Chains A and B, each alone.
Chain A
Amino acid sequence: MSAVVAERWYRVFLRAFPTRHRAEYGAEILGTLMNDAPRRPSPRETAGLVTAGLTARTREAAGRPVPWWADGLHLGLLVAALANLSYNVSDRVSPWWLVVSAALVVALLRGRALAALPLALLVALSTGRVMLFGIEAANWSPLLGPTYHNWVSLIPYGVLAGGAVVLAARRSRDLRVRPWWWLAIPALALVLAWAPGDWRYGQLWQATRAGTEGVVLLAGIAATAVARSPRWALAAALYVLPGVVSALVYPPANAQNITYWLTLTALLLTMAVTAWRPAAGSEGAGA
Chain B
Amino acid sequence: MSEPTYFVLAALLDGPSHGYGIIKRAEEQSGGRVRLAVGTLYGALDRLAGDGLVAVDREETVQGRPRRYYRLTEDGRAAVVREAARMEQAARVVTTRITPATGAAPA
Identify the A interface with B (CB < 8 A): 16-17, 21, 24-25, 27-35, 44-45, 47-53, 55-56, 59, 280-281, 283-287
Contact = CB atoms under 8 A, between A and B. Distances in A.
Given A34-B65, A285-B5, 19 more contacts: A24-B46, A28-B19, A28-B67, A29-B38, A29-B39, A31-B65, A31-B67, A32-B42, A45-B37, A48-B37, A49-B38, A50-B39, A56-B43, A281-B2, A284-B1, A285-B44, A286-B1, A287-B2, A287-B47
B10 interface: no
B89 interface: no
B1 A281 contact: yes
Interface in B21-50: 23, 35-48
B79 A30 contact: no
Nearest to A42: B37
B11 interface: no
B37 A287 contact: no
B19 A285 contact: no
Contacts of A59: 47
B27 to A, nearest CB: 13
Interface residues on chain B, size class? 20 to 34
Majority-rule SS of B interface residues: helix
B38 A45 contact: yes
B66 interface: yes
A41 to B, nearest CB: 12
Contacts of B4: 287
25 contacts: A21-B43, A21-B46, A25-B45, A29-B19, A31-B19, A31-B62, A32-B23, A32-B38, A44-B37, A45-B37, A45-B38, A48-B39, A48-B40, A49-B39, A51-B40, A52-B37, A52-B43, A56-B43, A280-B2, A284-B83, A286-B2, A287-B4, A287-B8, A287-B43, A287-B47
